[in-house]
Structure 1
Amino acid sequence: MKKQLLAVSLFALMGTAPLAQAADYAIDTKGAHASVNFKVKHIGFSWLTGRFNKFDGQFSYDAENPTAASIEVTIDTSSLDSNHAERDKHIRSGDFLNVSKFPTAKFVSTKVVKDDDDELDIHGNLTLHGVTKPVVIEVEKVGEGKDPWGGYRVGFEGTTTISMREFGIEHKLGDLADSVELELHVEGVRK
């Protein structure tokens, strides 16, 4: 009888135990532990690389249920930095990003699909140059755990390729220069 009572009590306790829930994270841009980088072919001869220095965002993530994750990121397009001032001025102009008319780009996830243990496909809508298109970002979890300052962090890296023409950017530097590879490194601090 005592064993049955103990079993019933344990079962009741387990039934009332809190289920693991998704935690909310702020992307750590202040500590420079996140980056949004790009790479595009320059007239087919070399790679032009750069980054966006200003962006912000947050995400929700639960390691036990990664497909319930969500993310939202806003990028200041005027913060484009290809390490060449004149080129940056041209990319920010109406020929490409037209940052005076479209000062931000935004990604909002719509669903997450699990590939492997630490790999996810994040489907979402990217708004760039005033055009919103669906994109898929292939993501791999880098790691998670307590940090030295008493917080909790989780990090991911991801890649996707977009077509400038699909986002209404018609100016190009050769046929091979339409595809832009985006590389994302995101470290979030649990709120």
Structure 2
Amino acid sequence: MKKIVAGIALGSLMAVSGSLLAADYVIDKEGQHAFINFKTGHMGFSVLHGRFNDFDGTFSWDAAKPEESKVEVTINTASVDSNHAERDKHLRSPDFLNVDKHPQATFVSTGVEVTGENTARVTGDFTFNGVTKPVVIDAQFIGEGEDPWGGYRAGFVGTTSIKLADYNVSMDLGPASAVVDLDLTIEGVRK
């Protein structure tokens, strides 16, 4: 009887300690619970909004040690969607995204600095149009827990900005269009 009780106690301890370790997540693009949106000035007259419809990625997350988190995302740049077919065709051209030569953009984290109770700065290498540069994403942890389908999820939002000239984008629409702001909503399902 003591062996059975000890076995149950050990099993329970292992289950609890396992939940305290970092877990790996797959970004939920299938359920459309993740978004990569962008906005930029349009020649000083308005603001252009769009998104990338096809991307995937993974992240590792441990609420007890957020500084040890890791993120990897791949964006299929031809999936750009600004709600205007002719503009999207131009955005895919060598003037902007250059999708024939560079069909993917990637982000690979290199570090996480905790800045508050649920906030952090995620540093990483962003590769776009054949150029890799460091970027910093201001991130916020939204929450984690069991979902109605028997899975376990964690979610974050983040923002960053990139200068198009840093990535050899040849089209110059003036100072209002020189920077692109990225708004990220990432929800992952634990593997």
Structure 2 CA distance for aligned equivalents of residues 136 and 174 of structure 1: 24
Gaps of 5+ in 1: 1-12
Name the SS of the counterpart of 1:165 in structure 2: helix
Identify the residue that residue 170 of structure 1 maps to in structure 2.
170
Q: C-alpha separation between the residues in 2 aligned to 1:190 and 1:133?
A: 29
Question: Amino acid of the residue matched to residue 62 of structure 1?
Answer: D
Q: What SS does structure 2 have at the residue aligned with 1:102?
A: coil
Residue 65 of structure 1 pairs with residue 65 of structure 2: yes
Could you tell me the TM-score, scaled by structure 2's length? 0.90
How much has 1:175 moved relative to structure 2? 1.6
> Whole-Å Cα distance in 2 between the matches of residues 163 and 95 of structure 1?
14
- 1:56: which partner in 2? 56
Q: Who is 1:8 aligned against?
A: none
Matches of 2:40 and 2:102, distance apart in 1: 20
Question: Following TM superposition, where does structure 1 have runs of at least 4 consecutive aligned residues deviating by more than 2 angstroms?
Answer: 16-20
Larger Rg: 1
Q: Distance in 2 between matches of 1:95 and 1:154?
A: 37
TM-score relative to the length of structure 1: 0.90
Aligned to 1:155: 155
- 2:90 is the counterpart of 1:94: no
Structure 1 partner of 2:140: 140
Q: Which secondary structure state, in structure 1, belongs to the residue aligned with residue 122 of structure 2?
A: strand
| 3-state DSSP of counterpart to 2:106 | strand
Q: Percent same amino acid at aligned positions?
A: 55
**Within 5 A, what are the aligned runs for 1:1-191?**
18=17, 20-191=20-191
Unaligned runs of at least 5 residues, structure 2:
1-9
Partner amino acid, structure 2, of 1:127: T
Distance in 1 of aligned mates of 2:93 and 2:55: 19
Post-superposition Cα deviations, 1:55-77, rounded to whole Å, max 9, x if no partner, equal: 00000000000000000000000
Deviations 1:116-155 (A, max 9, x none): 0100100000000000000000000111111011111010
Q: Give distance in 2, aligned partners of 1:44 and 1:174.
A: 8
Q: Which moved more, 1:59-68 or 1:164-173?
A: 164-173
Looking at structure 2, the residues matched to 88 and 94 of structure 1 have their Cα atoms a distance apart, in angstroms, of 12
RMSD, aligned α-carbons: 1.2
Task: Return the offset for 1:45.
Answer: 1.2
Q: What do the CA deviations read for 1:39-66 (whole angstroms, capped 9, x no partner)?
A: 0000011100000000000000000000
Letter of the aligned partner of 1:49 in structure 2? H
Pairwise CA distance, 1:81? 0.3
Q: C-alpha displacement at 1:21, in angstroms?
A: 1.1
Q: Structure 2 CA distance, aligned partners of 1:142 and 1:130?
A: 32
| Aligned length in residues | 177
Deviation, 1:170, is 2.6
**Amino acid in structure 1 at the alignment position of 2:98:** N
